[in-house]
Amino acid sequence: MNDHLFMIVMRTKDEEKQEALFEATVKVVNEIGFASSSVSKIAKEARVSPATLYTYHKSKKDLLISTYLNVKRQLSDTVMEGIDETLPIRDNFRQIWFNLFQFTVKYPDYFQFSEQFSNSPYNDRSLQNDIDQKFMPIAKLIRRGIERKVIKNLEVDLISAFVFYPVIILANPRLCRNFDPTDEQIDQSFQLAWDAIKL
Amino acid sequence: MNDHLFMIVMRTKDEEKQEALFEATVKVVNEIGFASSSVSKIAKEARVSPATLYTYHKSKKDLLISTYLNVKRQLSDTVMEGIDETLPIRDNFRQIWFNLFQFTVKYPDYFQFSEQFSNSPYNDRSLQNDIDQKFMPIAKLIRRGIERKVIKNLEVDLISAFVFYPVIILANPRLCRNFDPTDEQIDQSFQLAWDAIKL
DNA sequence: TATTGATAAATGAACATTCAATTATTACAG
DNA sequence: CTGTAATAATTGAATGTTCATTTATCAATA
């Protein structure tokens, strides 16, 4: 920061506003939808002037993309928590599966935002590659499981689709109603996922 | 039609325009996204005046909803094809699974539209109930499988999530790259789905 | 005082929808 | 068959609104 003279007398940007804009973006998109979410509505929700928003983000596109990346970063941090290569493959899968389940239940708004964004044209190939990088440990785990003949020898994407996508459905009350799962049901659900991919 | 005098000289609405508007809506939403899709752009794609669109649909909302229902109707018709209660449960599942797979591969645009719509606030509870009705035979099949102890005794939504959602992921090139499946891979994938739910 | 953060107000473009006027289709009288 | 009246389909243009973004100005800080 102090490398450049012109930065010395810079007034600091408000961290709270950054956070408020993030939360507001997710909230507004969830409440009125991606299509109806305007910069001014998001700014109002964050109790900030639309012009101020432009000191934090150079465009609406930039706001949405950085919100998406933020959601995905939090997701990957949460999901990868507790991975331990010394434990059996199945235990690691179970850990990831429960982390993912809890995240989706705790932050359903993040998920709905994420779904809306990823199905929009903002989500281009290079952005998706950046995100895939974050989830690399899971891909590695799958490959390790295949090598050790613990899980079926199939494409990594295929294994992922069968193990992790159903979680998203289950945790989404909009897609899966009448389903307020008990601990036992969550456990049974993981067993389904594991049965699908185990050798 | 001839019951009422005032209907005698009615000019008929153009079936082709109805269809053109449907295709245009799907196409425009796929190309520029749900958020950027305007009535005038859809009308232009359908080679129709924006004003004409309003003789077929009373609002933009109506246009989008009926497009969604049309997609879902085609999907349910295709997916339920060939269900035969006299055959084993697994064969019926296999049939549905392949129907679904082929539909998603053949009409990826319908799927992307569907995903964008269903994550939007247009998709309310009562609309979703109407759609669930269309897929009732699948719910029945699952319940029959549970009764006959062929599949695990779990919530219908849970079974559905594990069997059918991975298909959507697999068939979506945006979500599952480097995966141009051979017949054998498709077969293996169904085996995964079945392994998850079978008793 | 110099510089940046913050904002209200302004801008022009695009939006959904309406409307007045025109065009196309039909029934039927001749 | 042909012409005509009736009516709905169609449309370009206009409506007022909302949009994303910029600009000019002020406030805060070093």
SS3 B198: strand
**Helix orientation angle between A89-106 and A183-197, rounded to the nearest 10 degrees:** 130
Are B198 and B145 a contacting pair, CB within 8 Å? Answer: no
CA distance A37 to A112: 14
- Give the pLDDT of residue A188: 87
> Which residues, other chains included, contact B37 with Cβ-Cβ below 8 Å and sequence gap of 6+?
A35, B25, B28, B29
Confidence at residue B60, expressed as pLDDT on a 0 to 100 scale: 94
Other residues' Cβ atoms within 10 Å of the Cβ of residue A84 = 9
Q: 3-class SS at A58?
A: coil
Kindly report the number of other CB atoms within 10 A of residue A145's CB atom: 22
Q: State whether B31 and A121 contact (CB < 8 Å).
A: yes
- Say which nucleotide is closest to residue A50, CA to C1' distance: C7
Q: What percent of chain A has pLDDT over 90?
A: 59
Nearest CA in chain B to A112: B119
Which positions in chain B touch A154 (Cβ < 8 Å)? Answer: 185, 188-189, 192
Task: Give A172's contacts in chain B (Cβ within 8 Å).
Answer: none
Look up residue B11 and give its DSSP letter: P
- Residue B182 burial (CB < 10 Å; 0-12/13-18/19+)? exposed
The alpha carbon dihedral of A166, A167, A171, A172 has a sign of negative
* Cβ atoms of residues B179 and A182 within 8 Å: no
Query: What tens digit of pLDDT does each residue of A145-191 get?
Result: 999 999 999 888 889 888 988 887 777 766 666 556 778 878 888 99
Partners of residue B1 on adjacent β-strands: none
Q: Name the least confident of B34-43, B147-156, B168-177.
A: B168-177
Of the candidates B90, B152, B190, B166, the residue with the CA atom closest to the CA atom of residue A189: B152
- Which residue, counting CA atoms, is nearest to the C1' of nucleotide D8? B11
Which residue's alpha carbon is at the shortest distance from the C1' of C15?
A: B38
Q: What is the CA radius of gyration of chain B?
A: 20
Q: Which two tokens stand for residue B119?
A: 């994550």
> Does residue B115 contact residue A119 with C-beta atoms inside 8 Å?
yes
Q: What are the chain B neighbours of A32 within 8 Å (beta carbons)?
A: 121
Q: Is the pLDDT of residue A64 over 90?
A: yes
Q: Which nucleotides of C are covered by protein (CB under 7 A)?
A: 2-10, 14-20, 24-28
A171 CA to D26 C1' distance (Å):
49
**Sequence-ordered alpha helix ranges (H) in B49-135:** 50-56, 60-79, 89-106, 108-118, 125-134
C1’ D1 / CA B9, Å: 20
Q: What integer pLDDT is reported at residue B177 of this predicted model?
A: 62
pLDDT at A57: 94
Question: How much is the pLDDT for A170?
Answer: 75
Please give the pLDDT value at position B175: 65
* Of B115, B119, B196, Cβ closest to residue A162: B196
Comparing C-alpha atoms, which of B63, B59, B1, B52 is closest to residue B28? B63
On whether any CB of chain B is under 8 Å from the CB of A36, the answer is yes
Name the β-bridge partners of B151.
B198
User: Considering only CB atoms, which chain B residues are within 8 Å of A152?
Assistant: 188, 192
The Cα–Cα gap between B34 and B79 comes to 26
The CA distance from B181 to the nearest CA of chain A, in Å, is 10
Report the pLDDT value the prediction gives residue B185, as an integer from 0 to 100.
79
Instruction: Give the pLDDT of residue B9.
Output: 46
The protein residue nearest nucleotide C25, judged by CA to C1', is B11
In the predicted structure, residue A2 carries a pLDDT above the cut 50: no
Q: Is B122 on the interface with A (CB under 8 A)?
A: yes
* Least Cα separation, residue A15 to chain B (angstroms): 29
- The lowest-confidence range among A34-48, A101-115, A150-164, A168-182 is A168-182
Give per-residue pLDDT as tens, B44-65: 999 999 999 999 999 999 999 9
Q: Which has more pLDDT, A106 or A121?
A: A106
Which of B29, B131, B162 is most worth mutating to test chain A (most A CB atoms within 10 A of its CB)? B162
**B26 exposed, middle or buried (CB, 10 Å; 0-12, 13-18, 19+)?**
buried
| Entry field: residues in chain A | 199
Query: Using one digit for the tens of pLDDT, what is the confidence trace for B74-132?
Result: 999 999 999 999 999 999 999 999 999 999 889 989 988 998 898 787 888 899 999 99
The CA radius of gyration of chain A, in Å to the nearest whole number, is 20
Distances (CA, A) of A169 to A13, A162, B73: 38, 12, 21
Q: Whole-prediction pTM value?
A: 0.87
| Tokens 């993981």 belong to residue | A190
